[in-house]
Amino acid sequence: MSIRKLLMIPGPTPVARSIQDEMGRETVAFGDPAFVQDFKEVIEDMKEMWGAKQVYVVAGSGSLAMEMGIANTVARDEKILIASNGFFGDRFVDVIERKGIDFELMQAEWGTTVTPEMIDEKLQSGEFNAVTVTHVDTSTGVVAPVEEIGKMLNEKYPDVMYIVDGVCATSAEPEHLEDMHIDILISGSQKAFGVAPGLAFVWASQKALDKRASLGTIPEYFADFMKWTPIMDDPSKYYATPPVNLVWALQESLRLIKEEGLQNRYDRHRKMADAIQKALESYGFKILAQEGVRASTLSNIIYMDGVDDMKFRETMREEGAEVAGGLGDYAGKMFRWGHMGNIDEHDVVGGLAAIDRTLMRLGIDVEPGKAIGIFTKEYMK
């Protein structure tokens, strides 16, 4: 008998039934008045909930959002400081190099995070016009102090553009453009929003919009804010066909988030992550991210001696749970468990039970149910 597989990777994440139902609706014309109203509501909710002057909801992935964030706010003769916590922070290098923009890469040791002090030290030279920070890097499971960085930038470098990659954070880790002095926030539908892949999100502050206006014509076509702003202001207008059913799915996701409450959602993710990470450590695994900078959206788990990566992940798949492998220097040395969006205690317990069974099949000494008990005790505090 085949068993239902738990999706335990850092994205895409499980899609709740009510969100799936919206994707299964009969598609209508993008100019249908009822859909136009739904799209308007989505845009207004996204702006209000994350404190933005404008939001761009377009067909694409988080990688498109990264490119949009850079292309619309940094001129070719300017310089960017890339403050990286891992593989996906480093990805900004490729995006920026292809645009011919000068940059400097500042890398934190994997498992640690960049700090406001590190960024401040670099910016004192006066040569940088923008800073990119990845809020949660899925390669390391580290969460950056975006609020503290934003406060420092606002106080000391108010003209520097602050660009935050929230792909693996938004709607699970606290983010608010106005309160945190963020100018560009990027994300995607497939992670903490719990929607299927296919939507890119870019939130912009007034400062970012003013900067785009000052750039004039840019080489990008699909990624140009100027092409999309009229659509976001009035979705009855046409530029490129919106993914109708995904917009409906996002609308349902936002309804669920508002019903739970953003702060409650943040608290739930933090509480669940802490409990999961304690349970994982009880096996003898180690968490790559240091205590104090561990993300609430995923855990990056270093194997104990004697565990073969491929055998572990293949056996996990057979036991009904899909986990992701490590990246960079940690490829083959760890697995990554995403626990964001609309997962609940049942999913977590099922995941831990799959780890129990997998380790037992691999000949690793395990006390069945111990980790589940630790998770339950911690989560119920």
- Please report, in angstroms and rounded to a whole number, the separation of the first and last CA atoms in the chain: 37
- Extract the tokens encoding 371: 């980790």
Task: Specify whether 356 is located in the same domain as 225.
Answer: no
Domain total of the chain: 2
CA dist., res. 226 & res. 204, Å (int): 13
φ, ψ of residue 80 to 5 degrees: the values are -115, 140
If asked whether residues 210 and 266 sit together in one domain, one would say no
98 marked as part of a ligand binding site: no
The pLDDT assigned to 150 comes to 98
The whole-chain average pLDDT of the chain stands at: 97
Which of 260, 286, 320 is the endpoint of a domain? 260
pLDDT, one tens digit per residue, over 280-313 is 999 999 999 999 999 999 999 999 999 999 999 9
Which whole-number Å values give the CA distances from 40 to 44, 116, 198, 205, in the listed order? 6, 37, 19, 19
CA angle 138, 348, 249 (to 5 degrees): 70
Mean pLDDT across 313-337: 97
Q: Are 241 and 30 in contact (CB under 8 A)?
A: yes
Residue 297 maps to a domain: yes
Predicted pLDDT at 344: 94
322 and 177 both lie in a single domain: no
Residue type at 119 in one-letter notation: I
Read off the CATH number of the domain in which 85 is found: 3.40.640.10
Q: Is the dihedral of CA 379, 139, 308, 292 positive or negative?
A: negative
> Mean pLDDT across the stretch 371-378?
98
33 φ, ψ (degrees, to nearest 5): -55, -40
Nearest 10 degrees: Cα torsion 367, 368, 372, 378 = -20
Same domain, 212 and 100: yes
Q: Confidence class of residue 255 from pLDDT cuts 50, 70 and 90?
A: very high
Q: 319 lies in which domain range?
A: 6-12+262-380
Decide if 1 is inside a domain.
Answer: no
Q: What is the CATH number of the domain that holds 299?
A: 3.90.1150.10
Residues 157 and 33 in one domain: yes
User: Are 175 and 241 within one domain?
Assistant: yes
% pLDDT > 70, the chain = 99
| Pair 375, 232 in one domain | no
pLDDT of residue 36: 98
How far apart CA 362 and CA 359 sit, in angstroms, is 5
Q: Are residues 305 and 256 in the same domain?
A: no
Are 196 and 170 spatial neighbours (Cβ–Cβ below 8 Å)?
no
Q: What angle do CA 147, 278, 170 make, to 5 degrees?
A: 30
Q: Which residues pair with 84 in a beta bridge?
A: 107
